[in-house]
């Protein structure tokens, strides 16, 4: 059963966040944006079409990259403070975005609603990535696409184990972000066919937040339906 907007907003109220972390988010990413993130965002976001949902829209760093004339643009952001900043950002030409407060694990939209779901640096932070993947697959149309950009666990013999050891410390530093998630295999295990389109390990970000990958995930026909929702999530759902 699809959650209502009221239920989703109540769950969003339980997602950690603060006015301070919302204001520090863009300064924290400033160097990365200047040296490559912005170009990667543009490549990912410019590929959307039709009816679009952005998961974890944060403070609106992707807004400038959307093409004009989309049929619909829904910006999902659970954090009240980030959503407030997001509402002040200029909208893409010919589009009136809808801002919806909801966690990734509880999207208040009917099945098969969106042509494209897009996210950048979000699945590292959601409380339950498998449940979030199931929700993305549920709201996508059968021929829809999920466009993503994420930092993931390194397969290097030194950096990967370091990310495992640093996970809890990094979560405290980076507002709940997990530095060691294997996002691509997780998507593949949850009903998606994944094409990695780019991978980069040279961004001037802390080593624990590299490498960065981007790609396109498509729902696999006949995959098991999303499980019934349990209790509201207890972690962040967007950055």
Query: Mean pLDDT for the chain?
Result: 91
Q: Class of the 5-219 domain? A: alpha beta
Q: Which residue has the higher pLDDT, 84 or 232?
A: 84
Name the phi and psi angles at 151, rounded to 5.
-90, 145
pTM: 0.91
pLDDT at 231 over 50: no
pLDDT of residue 225: 64
- Residue 197 confidence (pLDDT) above 70: yes
CB count, 10 Å around CB of 90? Answer: 8
Q: pLDDT exceeding 90 applies to what percent of the chain? A: 80
Residues, the chain: 239
Distance (Å, whole) CA 186 – CA 137: 13
Residue 86's SS3 state is helix
| Model confidence at 223: pLDDT above 90 | no
User: Could you tell me whether strands 192-200 and 212-219 are parallel, antiparallel, or unpaired per DSSP bridges?
Assistant: antiparallel
Give me 51's structure tokens.
């009816």
Model confidence at 239, pLDDT cuts 50, 70, 90, reads very low
pLDDT for the residue numbered 230: 45
The mean pLDDT of 92-118, rounded to a whole number, is 97
- The domain locations on the chain are 5-219
Task: State the Cα–Cα distance between residues 161 and 155, nearest whole angstrom.
Answer: 9
């Amino acid at each position: 059963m699809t959650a209502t907007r009221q239920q989703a907003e109540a769950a969003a109220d339980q997602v950690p966040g603060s006015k301070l972390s919302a204001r520090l988010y863009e300064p924290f990413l400033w160097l990365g944006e200047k040296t490559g993130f912005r170009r990667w965002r543009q490549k990912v976001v410019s590929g959307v079409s039709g009816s679009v949902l952005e998961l974890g829209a944060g403070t609106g760093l992707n807004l400038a990259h959307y093409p004009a004339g989309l049929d619909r643009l829904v910006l999902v952001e659970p954090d009240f403070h980030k959503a407030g900043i997001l509402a002040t950002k200029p909208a893409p030409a010919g589009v009136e975005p809808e801002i919806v407060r909801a966690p990734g694990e509880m999207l208040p939209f009917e099945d098969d609603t969106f042509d494209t779901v897009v996210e950048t640096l979000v699945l590292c932070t959601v409380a339950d990535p498998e449940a979030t993947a199931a929700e993305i697959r549920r709201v996508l149309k059968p021929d829809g696409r999920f466009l993503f950009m994420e930092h993931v666990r390194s397969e290097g013999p030194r950096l990967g184990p370091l990310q495992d050891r640093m996970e809890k410390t990094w979560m405290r530093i980076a507002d709940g972000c997990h530095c060691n998630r294997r996002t691509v295999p997780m998507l593949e295990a949850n009903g998606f066919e994944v094409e990695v389109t780019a991978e980069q390990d040279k961004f001037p970000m802390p080593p624990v937040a590299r490498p960065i990958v981007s790609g396109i995930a498509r729902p696999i026909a006949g995959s098991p339906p999303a499980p019934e929702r349990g209790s509201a999530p207890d972690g962040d759902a967007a950055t």
